[in-house]
Chain A
């Protein structure tokens, strides 16, 4: 088995706020191979975006990465200096943001914003960069790219802007792209287009993709692997097939049951009772216990460890067969 592209081990990111310490990430593990697509799924507040920004080392005070390792191609990103990290951002790892309407600088032309990534990360001269910009825009499906170069973001639709953002993310040929809810802010009609564009471009280039989404169906549709997050922890992770076919964690099952496709067979859309608890006031033990129909005494006593469900598929729940450390 080749060395993974990205290995996150025991990553903890805390935010020290007025009311106390928010453990936005409380020891998460993730493994991603070269060219793989991983979906990170969960409700908002689960720590998906914090995971993305932690990997990019873009956590601002009052937030802080407290512990853990982020191994990218074998090197720990957390031991790199800020200057070294800056060379990684956009070049080795790049990001696609949730809302393309706010992610682009309103006062810079489309061309300048793509060009900036090329200037920072490639040794190309101006003519080469100009050609690359056109081919990138062509690749992400912007019609008549020559005419759109000197346009400003407000002259584009949301879907077109997200294509531009993807072009910027692709510009320097990164090995990993992190997309944080890339279609949430877009019209439903263009969501599928953007997702298939992302899948096609990363597959073609052999880049890996972390797709953060609250929509399990989206992850199921294009990811190789799925990690389910709840309240700052990964509660289930494995190959997409295995997680969808035999979800082991009650939270994952809840997410699956609340998908419209599942409802068609059962007749009625299920929902997970209760709400995501405040990260300032997490229940002891398993954070999902208050909403879980399987909860027992053990769930309030300790945090369940990940146990193997099948080869390449783990979940953290005391109710699992051979239940870990009960």
Chain B
């Protein structure tokens, strides 16, 4: 087990290094950041001075080493626009993104598992057909469009829910106040919808696969009740492959949080990224990508380990 963990951990580090190389070098071919920070009427000397100050006059590999060195010391540079350390800008916004993504995760699991199990258990019922049609519809919806519809109906027409911002927060969390929760609902629902639909389909497909297995038939021959078959015999087996996809889906939610945050003016790290892209604020883009890469790789690591713990068939040398 320990050997496996160490191996897996080293792989993770290797992936992160590769990501940092790609992100750093690709980003350094884009535009000239010096023009972003000097005044429009700057002289050639001023521009050179700024370039030197940023270290951009050194060869790329050296720049990379400096970048990595700073990164390991928790310094990812300063935003050109905000003139503040990037790490601070992002960490200030992590909670906002985190709570939206977490609520979306909970929503999608809370709906997808029961809906998927039901659709697999009674495949020919009307409700199942509706669920399957609805979930196919759900994965076809552009999430930004759903957000716009929700805003139009619930905020503009009916005035029931606020359309932007986080509302009142306590210790940086919106979900702790009534007002904050009202602000959180639409972004989270918008974000959850695609994942929810996708997971419903996946849970159903896996359940149907498992319900075909011999051991389910054997359990029936033992006299196990239909609910016992579904929940004690089939669900765990069906969820094991779902776990892998679920890890990917959490990553996807973080990626799509950029969209939801943009629509609902939700001040999270996703909106920060989009704003940074639109203003060519390179340090923020690089830092965001690195932080998100760490999160994804971390999720993958946890999922892999969880997998080996849940499935007794996986024997670690």
Contact = CB atoms under 8 A, between A and B. Distances in A.
* A and B are interacting partners: yes
Contacts of A89: 220-223
Chain A CB within 10 Å — which of B214, B215, B223, B240 has the most?
B223
Nearest to B215: A105
A94 interface: yes
Q: How large is the interface on A (under 10, 10 to 19, 20 to 34, 35 or more residues)?
A: 20 to 34
B222 A90 contact: yes
B237 interface: yes
Secondary structure class of chain B's binding surface, majority of residues = helix
B213 A121 contact: no
Given A102-B214, A106-B312, A154-B313, A117 B220 contact: no
B313 A152 contact: yes
Interface string B219-248: 111111100000011001100100000000
B129 interface: no
A88 B223 contact: yes
Contacts, number: 65
A188 B302 CA distance: 44
Secondary structure class of chain A's binding surface, majority of residues = mixed
Contacts of B218: 95, 97, 103-104, 165
A87 B222 CA distance: 9
B92 interface: no
B8 interface: no
Contacts of B237: 105-107
A120 B215 contact: no
Nearest to A154: B313
A103 B223 contact: no
Contacts of A152: 312-313
B313 A106 contact: yes
B277 to A, nearest CB: 45
A278 B275 CA distance: 68
A152 B310 CA distance: 12
Contacts of B215: 102-106
A108 B223 CA distance: 17
Contact of B223 (A104, A121, A165): A121
A149 to B, nearest CB: 14
Interface in A136-155: 152, 154
B32 interface: no
A56 B312 contact: no
Q: How large is the interface on B (under 10, 10 to 19, 20 to 34, 35 or more residues)?
A: 20 to 34
Contacts of A94: 221-222
A105 B235 CA distance: 12
B74 to A, nearest CB: 42
Contact of A86 (B225, B311, B313): B225
Interface in A29-64: 56, 58
B214 A103 contact: yes
A87 B223 CA distance: 6
B312 A99 contact: no
Interface string A209-246: 00000000000000000000000000000000000000
Contacts of A106: 215, 237, 312-313
A91 interface: yes
Interface string A100-138: 001111111000000011001100000000000000000
Contact of A56 (B221, B232, B236): B221
Interface in B189-232: 213-215, 217-225, 232
A153 to B, nearest CB: 9
A122 B280 CA distance: 72
A24 B224 CA distance: 26
B26 to A, nearest CB: 44
Contacts of A56: 221
Contacts of B224: 86, 116, 120
A6 interface: no
A116 B311 CA distance: 20
A324 B236 CA distance: 57
Nearest to A83: B225
Contacts of A248: none
A255 interface: no
B284 to A, nearest CB: 45
Contacts of B240: 107
A95 B312 contact: no
Given A58-B217, A152-B312, A105 B233 contact: yes
A99 B313 contact: no
B223 A120 contact: yes
10 contacts: A95-B218, A95-B221, A97-B217, A102-B213, A102-B215, A103-B215, A105-B215, A107-B237, A120-B224, A165-B218
Given A97-B218, A106-B237, 4 more contacts: A94-B222, A104-B215, A108-B233, A116-B219
Interface of A: 56, 58, 86-91, 94-95, 97, 99, 102-108, 116-117, 120-121, 152, 154, 165, 168
